[in-house]
Amino acid sequence: MSAPPAAQTSRAPGAAFILKKALISAFVALVLFSLMIGVRTEAGPQGQLIYWTRFGDLAAMVAAVFGGSIIVELLRQWWGPVGTVRIVPPSVQTTLAVARRGIAPVLLVFTFLVPVLFYDERYILDLAILVLTYVMLGWGLNVVVGLAGLLDLGYVAFYAVGAYSYALLATNFGLSFWICLPLAGILAAFWGVLLGFPVLRLRGDYLAIVTLAFGEIIRLVLINWQTLTGGPNGVTGIPRPTLFGIPLTPADDGLAALLGIEFSPTHRIVFLFYIILALALLTNWVTIRLRRLPLGRAWEALREDEVACRALGINTTTTKLTAFATGAMFGGIAGAFFATRQGFISPESFTFHESALVLAIVVLGGMGSQLGVALAALAMIGGFELFRGLDQYRMLVFGMAMVLLMIWRPRGLIGHRAPTVFLKSNQAISSDLVKEGHG
């Protein structure tokens, strides 16, 4: 991989260009902030409107945007134009390649050790479970968006179907978690196929809108079908998972009593941690496996060129449906886990925000890359918690980090694609050749 040597210099804009760009940004900021920051209004003691101006703050804000815009532009030049590979010495490249290959096993071992390392820190364990749930959701959505190239904005619908499947089956019929887990997956996959049928003809933006609506429909049904779902009150008293029928409770037949150790609520947390870790790894294993099977290869071919797929005799309809169903199944299983972890679910947990978050994880990670999605979930969920100390500026910092990331890595953290089969050498394919799909 070598970049054309002229790429660095050919598109280096001059100072005038940077200044012009910064001025435009500053002007936009001025228009935006003049009312948001420049003027402050409040209701007076007699209910009259009082307002005062804060031109100092406004000026500071506009100056910050001006300066920031220059810095971003300079950083961009320093990194080289988007889409070209910076010339790196081969020795550094091989070191990076080794590091890249090593990162997945290291992360895996570390993840296995998390409950050991942080046994006493409940907060970290809870956060780790949350991150792993999103890793699993990301890997599930990755099948639909990353591999098959179908933009799905309603992924949370399947998460909800899985969660409610388990909650209702367990509370109404007393089925155990381990029986409900595959059932939740199957039910979610069924809904995935159901959604798939009408939207198969749609592409791109249209597909995105219909899936978005589907997510909302599921949520509204959950709110309004009070007799079944309990409406906004949700479902309470969802049973916790057991270890081969042994509950993790302080009771006499609990695991702690059987093992003769002192009961601690952390046991259950650690148990949940390993359940979600196993489920996430199962998702990963199945996806990696599927990619090397004709079905997975057809998904990727579909993303690359649907017309060519049809000319090769590939049934694009069933191929798309299987992608939807597979993605939905993993979403449903993750949903069942979510329900058993929370012990309580309500429609509030399944808003569009969740779909957007999972989609952001997939896009940020690099569409189609398993490791990228895992890293993105860690950054999005873990990183978000990291900024908790920043209080109200948390969202701001987070948004800024995402903007910067998209400037430098427009195709996600790991943008290149690994071939599914090779004769001699397994070389990654540069992201600018790989298509994103259009529905």
Residues in the interface with another protein (CB under 8 A) total 38
Select from 4, 278, 429, 438 the one that contacts another protein (CB under 8 A). Answer: 429
Select from 159, 300, 378, 381 the one that contacts another protein (CB under 8 A). Answer: 300
Nearer to another protein, 238 or 298 (CB): 298
Compute the least distance from the CB of residue 194 to another protein, in Å.
20
Nearer to another protein, 126 or 304 (CB): 304
Query: Rule CB under 8 A: is residue 2 a binding residue for another protein?
Result: no
Map the footprint of another protein across residues 264-293, applying CB under 8 A: 286, 289-290, 293
Map the footprint of another protein across residues 360-419, applying CB under 8 A: 417, 419
Query: Rule CB under 8 A: is residue 297 a binding residue for another protein?
Result: yes
Query: Rule CB under 8 A: is residue 228 a binding residue for another protein?
Result: no
Nearer to another protein, 179 or 293 (CB): 293
Question: Which residue type occupies 216?
Answer: E
Angle 316-342/177-199 helices, nearest 10 degrees?
140
Q: Which of 336, 376, 332, 334 is nearest to 357 (CA)?
A: 376
Nearer to another protein, 107 or 295 (CB): 295
Query: Rule CB under 8 A: is residue 305 a binding residue for another protein?
Result: yes
Compute the least distance from the CB of residue 426 to another protein, in Å.
7
Map the footprint of another protein across residues 308-327, applying CB under 8 A: 308-316, 322
Residue 394 falls in which region: left (phi positive, over 0), alpha (psi -120 to 50) or beta: alpha
Q: Which stretch binds another protein (CB under 8 A): 97-105, 208-216, 261-269, 301-309?
A: 301-309
CA distance between the termini of the chain: 30
Nearer to another protein, 92 or 423 (CB): 423
Cα angle 182, 296, 178 (rounded to 5 degrees) comes to: 10
Query: Rule CB under 8 A: is residue 422 a binding residue for another protein?
Result: yes
Query: Rule CB under 8 A: is residue 201 a binding residue for another protein?
Result: no
Query: Rule CB under 8 A: is residue 84 a binding residue for another protein?
Result: no
Query: Rule CB under 8 A: is residue 116 a binding residue for another protein?
Result: no
Compute the least distance from the CB of residue 42 to another protein, in Å.
56
Length of the chain counted residue by residue:
439
Nearer to another protein, 154 or 437 (CB): 437
SS3 labels along the chain: CCCCCCHHHHCCCCHHHHHHHHHHHHHHHHHHHHHHHHEEEEECCCCCEEEEECHHHHHHHHHHHHHHHHHHHHHHHHHCCCCCCCCCCHHHHHHHHHHHHHHHHHHHHHHHHHHHHCCCCHHHHHHHHHHHHHHHHHHHHHHHHHHCCCCCCCCHHHHHHHHHHHHHHHHHHCCCHHHHHHHHHHHHHHHHHHHHHHHCCCCHHHHHHHHHHHHHHHHHHHHHCHHHHCHHHCECCCCCCCECCECCCCCCCCHHHHHCCCCCCHHHHHHHHHHHHHHHHHHHHHHHHHHCCHHHHHHHHHHHCHHHHHHCCCCHHHHHHHHHHHHHHHHHHHHHHHHHHHCCECHHHHCHHHHHHHHHHHHHHCCCCHHHHHHHHHHHHHHHHHHHHHHHHHHHHHHHHHHHHHHHCCCCCCCCECCCCCCCCCCCECCCCCCCCCC
Map the footprint of another protein across residues 118-177, applying CB under 8 A: none
Compute the least distance from the CB of residue 149 to another protein, in Å.
10
Nearer to another protein, 204 or 419 (CB): 419
Nearer to another protein, 179 or 308 (CB): 308
Query: Rule CB under 8 A: is residue 421 a binding residue for another protein?
Result: yes
Select from 105, 307, 389, 391 the one that contacts another protein (CB under 8 A). Answer: 307
Q: Which stretch binds another protein (CB under 8 A): 119-127, 307-315, 345-353, 396-404?
A: 307-315
Query: Rule CB under 8 A: is residue 100 a binding residue for another protein?
Result: no
Nearer to another protein, 86 or 292 (CB): 292
Please report, as ranges, the residues that interact with another protein according to CB under 8 A. Answer: 286, 289-290, 293-295, 297-298, 300-301, 304-305, 307-316, 322, 417, 419-427, 429-430, 433-435
